[in-house]
Amino acid sequence: MHSSGSDKRGCPLCGSNKSRSIIRLSAQKIAKANWSYRQSAFADWGVDPSEEFPIERCSNCAFVYAGRMPKPGFLDYVYDQLIDIEAARRESYSPHNIAARMEYLPTLLRLLGKGGKVLDYGCGFGPSLALLRDIEGIETFGFEMSAARVQELSNWYSMVTLNFNRVRERSPFNAIILDNVLEHVPNPRETVQSISNLCSEGAVLYVSVPDVGENYLDAQIALNRRSKLLAMDINPWEHLNYFDLTHLDALMGSAGFVVLRQADLPGEIRIGLRPESNMLPRLKNTLASMLREMSYVLTGEALPTASRRFYRYTGHVTA
């Protein structure tokens, strides 16, 4: 049997080594909850199915994170062999995934105005690059840490690399996309700081991470207590960091990024009206939306979420 994780990990945001475990997941439960994993490959690696992986809450800053750092060899195995590459590629280019990108990319383009250089940091199979690369005035570049994905992308798009020095040579960038990246990185503070060094003055940054707020987290803890499978987002092999909006904004502020509120963005403001066939649900939803309208009037925000957040680089660091 191989061990897949190393010693205990400290809080990646504040550095404290004091924490408490809120969820402990066995290797078997992690593997079964993820549709993209090839179960046979999981057995081939030889991880003890009962080996446990804790998710911790920092006692100092309350950030939630994976308590063990997977070994580099195991991470390579997860991304190159355990994941069903064909299934992951299909999902990356699925109508749902493309539609989600077509929601935030227009806002990014409007914020850029006359265009500029855009870096997709952690570009995966390249769906955002595919949508952006033929737009006049936009120069796109992709950075990806999976050699297999870079090799595949290079067959149709040469402006992608796993060499960060090449990214630095192309900087500064007018916009950077961080779509489902920060939850994966061992040291998010270092990552965000290195990204700030790639930005031109006033550059726009789009960030999307799984929004792991208290209600969502409580629901996952309850599922775990009942020995049920958790959501794919709760995966301490791949998702090393679990952000809510407060911790995400604090992290970005520490590297000189200022939040762009919904009132600061071009386009229509979402207040959460949903299609409902029955009158009572419509009434409840309308009343809730009225409260969100009032929040928008007072704060400039209506439905803020860590899964869709824009920032502008000012270089002014906040505590």
Range among 34-43, 70-79, 230-239 rated most confident: 230-239
Identify the weakest region by mean pLDDT among 71-75, 81-85, 231-235.
71-75
Tell whether 207 and 218 lie within a shared domain.
Answer: no
Q: Is 282 contained in some domain?
A: no
Q: Does residue 288 lie within any of the structural domains?
A: no
Q: Specify whether 80 is located in the same domain as 166.
A: no
The last residue of one of the domains, among 225, 255, 281, is 225
- pLDDT above 70 coverage of the chain, percent: 95
**In a domain? residue 130:** yes
pLDDT tens per residue, range 181-229: 999 999 999 999 999 999 999 999 999 999 999 999 999 999 999 999 9
Of the three residues 195, 225, 255, the one that is the final residue of a domain is 225
Residue 107 placed within a domain: yes
Give pLDDT tens digits for 102-160.
Answer: 999 999 999 998 889 999 999 999 999 999 988 999 999 999 988 878 888 888 888 99
194 shares a domain with 258: yes
Q: Same domain for 169 and 254? A: yes
Q: pLDDT at residue 1 above 50? A: no
Whether residue 239 lies inside any domain: the answer is no
Q: Is residue 284 part of a domain?
A: no
User: Is the domain of 220 the same as that of 255?
Assistant: no
Q: How many whole angstroms separate alpha carbon 109 and alpha carbon 253?
A: 23
121 with 77, same domain: the answer is: no
Rounded to an integer, the average pLDDT of 29-38 is 87
* Position 275 in a domain: no
Query: DSSP states of 187-216 as a string?
Result: -HHHHHHHHHTTEEEEEEEEEE-----HHH
pLDDT at 36 over 80: yes
Nearest to 120 by CA among 153, 91, 78: 153
Band of pLDDT at residue 319, cut at 50, 70 and 90 = low
Q: Say yes or no: 78 and 126 in one domain.
A: no
Assigned domain for 289 exists: no
Classify residue 165 by burial, with Cβ atoms within 10 Å: 0-12, 13-18, 19+.
exposed
Q: Do 81 and 143 reside in the same domain of the chain?
A: no
What is the rounded CA–CA span in Å between residue 179 and residue 29? Answer: 26
CA pair distance 67, 71, nearest whole angstrom: 13
Find out whether 286 and 273 touch, Cβ atoms under 8 Å: yes
Q: What is the CATH number of the domain that holds 167?
A: 3.40.50.150
Whether residue 2 is predicted with pLDDT greater than 60 in this model: the reply is no
Whether 63 and 194 share a structural domain:
no
Burial class (CB in 10 A: 0-12, 13-18, 19+), 50: exposed
Task: Clarify whether residues 34 and 161 are in a common domain.
Answer: no
pLDDT at 188: 96
Residue 22 lies in domain: 5-90+213-225
Count of domains for the chain: 2
**Domain check: are 104 and 195 in the same one?**
yes
Tell me the mean pLDDT in the region 71-83: 78
Average per-residue pLDDT for the chain? 90
Q: Which of these ranges, 1-15, 61-75, 256-270, has the smallest mean pLDDT?
A: 1-15
pLDDT in tens, 270-294: 888 888 888 998 999 899 889 989 9
* One-letter identity of residue 115: G
The one-letter amino acid code at 74 reads F
CA–CA distance, 175 with 112 (Å, rounded to integer): 7
Q: Do 81 and 206 belong together in one domain? A: no
Q: CA-to-CA distance for 49 and 266, rounded, in angstroms? A: 49
pLDDT tens column, 245-267: 999 999 999 999 999 999 999 98
Collapsed DSSP state (helix, strand, coil) of residue 152: helix
